[in-house]
Structure 1
Amino acid sequence: MGDREGAGSLMVTAPAPASVRKIEENDPDLTDEEALEAWRITNGQEWAIERILQEVGRSNGALLADDMGVGKTVQGVEVALRGGFERVLFIALPNTHLGWAARITAQSDGRVTARIMDGSESGRAALKAFRAGEKGFFIAGPHYLMAQDYRSVRVVNPAYRPDQSRREDGTVEAPFVFKRYRTTNVRKGAVRGELELRARKEGVIGPDAEPIIATESERIKFFDYYLKKYPLDAVIADEVHVFAANKFNQMRRTIRAIIRDERTFKLFMSGTWFLNDPDNMWSPSRLVWPGINPATGRNYVDSNHDIWRDRFMVREVVTRTDGTAMTTSSGREIKKTAGERVEGGFIATLPCYIRREAADPIPEPE
């Protein structure tokens, strides 16, 4: 992918914290504690960086699930710098953007700077450069990226149902009908209750003959178009549980469009990547490894969530208080995920999964 000299001419969109100090290269003769005191990359971090880089051009993906405090940021930056990537997108929460930009500058000895894409004037200029295919390191938040990929369109509110409450003389008494359910999440065993129709009284919301205008999201495929022309060399994504744990999430669809080119290397990072629900393991890992393993001829991760769940998860029928099974309207039993069939069984199949616990873990709540 060449060197990164082209990235050096880019301007930082916001001042980086002056106190950020470079973490120097690894010294294998030092213990991890000694390396931290000497501001050097630890042996564990060095091993993880090198292991992740082994997947470049192989599976083109890695999942770094280290605890908070183990050093995911410096590892992510080192992977981007050592990998020789020319065009990289860092996806991170907005309150960490300056930290990422500062770490990139520090680790590269000032040779590489980052452009932060956001709603500011400089952020819009960075987006324009990104859209034009310029080389360099770019930083953006997942919500901001989703906002580029979707737009709000005006629609007639589906709650407007004038035929639901006609008077005998043909006039409308209460045209706005609202649906309510007692519960919502069928996948986790919560079953929808009886449908309740509520009619708004006339005069509460404007003239009864005029429908309310609502909005809904419409995907405009911003990244499908621009990244097909100018694909990314790598995507480094932090806190992936924000957009990847829910397979129906609009942000997940946006990120999937961003990384759709099979040549794009993906490093996803989060200490809580499946949010303590093993059923959520499928969505982030499927994003990282959407392709086929050439060694086996099978998908790295099953493309069908239900098939994957049957292979790796234990499923239980959801029952009522009287012990009878809950069913869907078609009579099918409703099931929920109770845990893994074999603890760690799915993770063991992933090409590159790394997790290390913090030396001083967060204490359990009392």
Structure 2
Amino acid sequence: MAETAAQETWSSASVARAVDAALREAGGGRMAGVRIAYEFGRRVFVVQFVRGSWLCAATVDAATGEVLSILDEGPPVAQTDTSGAAGTAVTAQLAARTVWDMQPTVEDPAAAYVATDAGLAVVRLCRDLDWTLVVEDHHPTGFAAIRRLASVPGGVIAGTADGRMFRMDTAGRLVWETRMPGCPHRISADTTATRVLLATNAGTVELDARTGTLLGLFGGAARAAAFLANGDRAIAGHRGDLLVTTPSGETRWRMDQGELPERLWLHHDRLFVAGEGGVKEIVVGEGVVARWSVPGADSVDDAVVIDGSVFTISDGSRLDRHSYATAGYHAGPAQVNDPETITVLGAGRQPWLLVGHRDGRLSARPV
């Protein structure tokens, strides 16, 4: 019985590695299915996937994980994707030079907190005769540049370049402040907004979101971290290792993706990892099921999923759109200069793509 269970675990892990290798080699795609075959006396996995308008099949050596071939298989897939960023962008300019991070406020999807060199700004999409993007507040903190933030009910939790963590309410008043060993790479709040998770070079830090009290320090250096809907922690290391642990610290699932992550977040019930090699959609307990890559770019710095599209920022210089369903590449929605970070706002019964630029400019366009 134990031997059978071990064989099933080995097979599941091998299939996951084969799918990831095939999608990486193809430059992106969405898995359609996997079958086992034998070719020249060796066992192989045939990974079928959709890439844009094409149905493809990759042959992967089951023993080594080497991708042996990728071929078109069958007629092209009908293209139904017509979504994308449309319309004229509305803009706003901050006095600060760089926008580092942004997140919509919990109370209003048309507003967002913006992390800058000088403090925290609040921007909002408003409509009179036409849509405008308005900088409602800019709260100077007197701290170092704010690099990362997470919106919570009644305010925002943020981290500075020198490792200071603090919570600010909607009026700009400081609720609590504490110090960390270094600048957090990413910040994530759980669904109850009672815990916050920080990915740092000293490990993954968990704080009480209400008081700033240290709740725990886990593992080694982390590049990105996020809470799952059930309270589990997902932690991505600098070497591409992905670990899911229970609230008590027990390891629930582990995956070695082998690529440097930049960002990790939960969208519905799937994990998304942006970084080296593009954006990956991951089913916890199984593995990668889709990958979006940008032609000519080594990595993706930031990304969002909006309806049927995936928008990516790569190499600090380009914004591109991809089809969520088929992983097809559709280039940029418009000329966008020096994008640093992106997020999603909701206004006028439709989503808007909000882009933060390195010169302090903000731009938003309907999707």
- TM class by shorter chain equals under 0.3
Q: Report the TM-score, using the length of structure 2 for normalisation.
A: 0.27
Higher strand share: 2
- Whichever of the two has the greater Rg, that structure is 1
Higher helix share: 1
Q: Report the TM-score, using the length of structure 1 for normalisation.
A: 0.27
